[in-house]
Structure 1
């Protein structure tokens, strides 16, 4: 018995430009890359025109390994008026930065460092800064990040 395979197009997670191609697995799902940064991490930009600046990761795009850092890599976007008689506007939007161009940053020691992984006595796997030994992942931090995210979503839905 012979089975005919039909290639399906990739399901998009983010709108791509015409020239961007997304790598797919055989089941037509996108290949997602592992990154050393997560939402809520403090990072330092190590290359590009924003080099040396420090900010917080707001959003991740795993299919092309890019991150959006708060108030960095600002692009101007010209918005058309939605209703007749209403003026158009120019909006500043944060653009993505490749994850290889950012390093995790320690606020206490004021130093950028690579990330390492280790398993604690209780069996939990955490990330830590190699230069300082400071543990990045903690339950309190994640709870705070998710609460902030929910609050911003509620504020956006009300507006």
Structure 2
């Protein structure tokens, strides 16, 4: 009988609630707040970025049909975290804080990045 191997959960450099800069793709140069991180696909939904248009079929409630604009997802490699202290994009790392917990920090300034999730 074959043994099923489970891979460890991904650790990404961005989290829900971070302000990020898009560094690649059609939305390059735009900034936004991360609404959702899709771990299975290595992608994230960012507010106001990668807007896609969906054509909705006519229904009883809307006999004309409609066009819906929604946010698509962006690959995580195309996002860079904005340092809250300086407002500039930065790479991130992890190191122990004063309480002995791993916390993200800005490699540009060395400051810790606060966790803004709800």
Alignment correspondent of 2:100: 123
Which structure has more strand as a fraction of its residues? Answer: 2
Partner of 2:49: 72
TM (norm. structure 2) is 0.85
More contact order relative to length (CA 8 Å, sep ≥ 6): 2
The number of aligned residues is 118
Q: Which runs of 5+ in 1 are unaligned?
A: 6-24, 147-159
More helix by share: 1
Displaced runs of 4+ in structure 1, greater than 2 A?
29-34, 84-87
Query: Closer, same or farther in 2 for the Cα pair 1:126/1:31, shift >3 Å?
Result: closer
CA shift digits 1:38-76 (9 cap, x unpaired): 100111011112111111110111112101100100000
Q: Give SS of 2:77's match.
A: helix
* Aligned CA-pair RMSD: 2.3
Deviation at 1:133, TM superposition (A): 2.0
Higher Cα radius of gyration: 1
1:68·1:95 contact (CA, 8 Å) conserved in 2?
yes
TM-score by length of 1: 0.65
